[in-house]
Amino acid sequence: MEVFRRLPPADRRDPCALTIGNFDGVHSGHRAVLAQLRRRADELGLPTCVLTFEPHPREYFATLAASAPAATGTGPRAPAPAPARICTERDKLDALAECGVDRVCITHFNASVATLPAERFIDEIVVEGLHARYLLIGDDFRFGAKRRGDFAMLEQAAARHGFELARIATVTRDGQRISSSAVRAALAGGDFARARELLGRPYFISGHVVHGRKLGRTIGYPTLNVPIPFDRPAVEGVFVVRVHGLGELPVAGVASLGTRPAVESDGRHLLEVHLFDFDADVYGRLVRVEFLHKLRDEAHFDSIEALTAQIDRDAQAARAWFRDGRAERND
C-alpha cells in the first residue's frame, strides 16, 4: 500500500476509486465502505484510494477554539470537545492495508484546508489532486469550509467532471449505528466485548518498545513501555492485557495507560505493561497490546509503597482473571 503525506505528486496521480473520511478505528462500518469501494474499483479496473486527515478536524477546531480569546475578552473560549483517539496512525494504516486499500493520502488538516470552500475542495482535491473516477461517501458526509459541501453538491460536480458518485447507508447492528463514537463509548466504559463487536476485531494498540524511567524494575514490576502519540486516548486506566509480537503465543500481563500521576507531572500518556512469567530484552520490538478487561481507573498515590501495594493487587486480579479462563471465552 502506498502512503502519501500530502496529495500525490503530479506524475503519480493515476485515476482511482476514492473514499474520504477519518477512519478512526477502522470499525465494521468503515470496513463495509472499503469492501464496496474495492468491489467497484475491481469492476472499473482502478486502484482504491482513501483520503484521510491528520489531525482529526475536530481536534484542529478544538485547539483553535482553546487558543482564541473569548468574546468578552476575559480569557480563552471553552473549546469544542475533540474526540478521543481510538487507534494510532500505524494501526489505522495496517487496518486499511488489510482491507485491500491500494493508496492512502494523509492530508494535514490546517487553516488552509479548514477554510477551503467546498467547490474548491471538489475541484482541487477530488478531481485535480486525486483524479477520482469513482467516489464513495457515507450518507452523513459533509466537507469544505463551514461544512457546506453535501451529496447534492457532489452530484452536480460528478455530472460536470464525469466521475461516478455513490453513497453507502449507515451500517447498523442490532438497530444501532456502528460509528467511531460508539466504539469510543464502549472503550470509555471498559466494555471490550462491545468494542470488539463494533470493530470486528479485538481492541489493541501497537507500537515500538522504548526505554522508560525503569522505576518498575526497582519495585519488582519491570514494564514494557509503548508511547502513546496523542493527548486523548480512547482508553485510560489499568487493564488485563496480552501482548503479541514477542513469540509464537501472546504473553499475559497487566497494563496501565495514562499520565502516571503517581510518578510524573508532564501529562504525557504512556502504555506500561508488566508481563507475567516473561524475562527478555525487547527494546525496539514492535508489539501489539490487546486489551481484555478493565480493572480500575488511574489514581494518584502518596508514596511508592502505596503504589507498589496497588500494583500487587492489580497483578493478582489480572492473574486471577486469566486463571478463570476468561481470556479463552473472549476468543
Q: What is the CATH number of the domain that holds 254?
A: 2.40.30.30
Q: 232 and 93: one domain? A: no
Model confidence band, residue 328 (pLDDT cutoffs 50, 70, 90): low
| Section 282-297 average pLDDT | 96
Cα–Cα dist 308/220, whole Å: 9
| Section 211-223 average pLDDT | 72
Q: In which residue are the cell numbers 501529562 written?
A: 267
Backbone angles phi, psi at 309, to 5 degrees: -65, -40
Model confidence band, residue 303 (pLDDT cutoffs 50, 70, 90): confident
Q: 39 and 172: one domain? A: yes
Q: 127 and 68: one domain? A: yes
Q: 154 and 280: one domain? A: no
What is the torsional sign of CA 59, 61, 67, 71?
A: negative
Q: pLDDT at residue 315 above 60?
A: yes
Q: 9 and 156: one domain? A: yes
Q: How far is CA 327 from CA 71, 116, 204, 323, 324, in A?
A: 53, 49, 14, 9, 8
| Section 97-106 average pLDDT | 97
Grid cell, residue 35, equals 469492501
Q: pLDDT at residue 80 above 70?
A: no
Q: pLDDT at residue 212 above 80?
A: no
Does 186 reside within a domain?
Answer: no
Q: In which residue are the cell numbers 444501532 written?
A: 176
Q: 153 and 211: one domain? A: no
Instruction: Supply the range of the domain harboring residue 217.
Output: 203-330
Q: What is the pLDDT of residue 264?
A: 58
Q: pLDDT at residue 297 above 70?
A: yes
| Section 230-251 average pLDDT | 94
Tell me the H-state helices in 232-277.
none
Q: pLDDT at residue 123 above 90?
A: yes
| Section 72-99 average pLDDT | 81
Q: What is the pLDDT of residue 12?
A: 85
Of the residues 138, 159, 176, which one is the last residue of a structural domain?
176
Does 182 reside within a domain?
Answer: no
The answer to whether the peptide bond before residue 69 is cis (omega within 30 degrees of 0) is no
> Does residue 209 contact residue 275 with C-beta atoms inside 8 Å?
no
Reading phi first (left if > 0) and then psi (alpha if -120 to 50, else beta), residue 145 is in beta
Does 183 reside within a domain?
Answer: no
Of the residues 176, 195, 215, which one is the last residue of a structural domain?
176
Does 300 reside within a domain?
Answer: yes
Does 36 reside within a domain?
Answer: yes
Q: In which residue are the cell numbers 474495492 written?
A: 38
Average pLDDT, whole number, for the chain?
Answer: 89
Q: pLDDT at residue 140 above 90?
A: no
List the CATH number of the domain containing 123. 3.40.50.620
Better pLDDT: 123 or 70: 123
Q: How far is CA 274 from CA 89, 193, 214, 255, 279, in A?
A: 24, 23, 12, 6, 10
| Section 45-57 average pLDDT | 94
Q: How far is CA 220 from CA 3, 22, 208, in A?
A: 42, 41, 23
| Section 212-219 average pLDDT | 66
Domain count, the chain: 2
Of the residues 132, 159, 176, which one is the last residue of a structural domain?
176
Q: 169 and 82: one domain? A: yes
Which of 14-18, 20-24, 139-143, 252-256 has the least mean pLDDT? 139-143
Q: Are strands 237-244 and 176-177 parallel, antiparallel or unpaired?
A: unpaired
Does 194 reside within a domain?
Answer: no
> Does residue 54 contact residue 107 with C-beta atoms inside 8 Å?
yes
Q: What is the pLDDT of residue 216?
A: 62
Q: What is the pLDDT of residue 301?
A: 83
| Section 232-240 average pLDDT | 96
Q: 148 and 31: one domain? A: yes
Grid cell, residue 230, equals 496523542
Reading phi first (left if > 0) and then psi (alpha if -120 to 50, else beta), residue 56 is in beta
Tell me the percentage of the chain whose pLDDT exceeds 70: 89
Model confidence band, residue 10 (pLDDT cutoffs 50, 70, 90): confident
Does 195 reside within a domain?
Answer: no
> Does residue 287 contact residue 246 with C-beta atoms inside 8 Å?
yes
Cα–Cα dist 328/321, whole Å: 11
Backbone angles phi, psi at 242, to 5 degrees: -140, 145
The one-character DSSP state at 187 is H
Grid cell, residue 170, equals 449507515
* Residue 218, Cβ density class (10 Å: 0-12 exposed, 13-18 middle, ≥19 buried): exposed
Q: pLDDT at residue 102 above 60?
A: yes
Dihedral of the alpha carbons of 279, 285, 290, 291, in degrees to the nearest 10: 70
Cα–Cα dist 85/88, whole Å: 7
Q: 144 and 243: one domain? A: no
Q: 144 and 283: one domain? A: no
> Does residue 125 contact residue 51 with C-beta atoms inside 8 Å?
yes
Q: pLDDT at residue 252 above 80?
A: yes
Q: 211 and 171: one domain? A: no
Q: 110 and 234: one domain? A: no
Q: pLDDT at residue 194 above 80?
A: yes
Does 181 reside within a domain?
Answer: no
Q: What is the pLDDT of residue 79?
A: 53
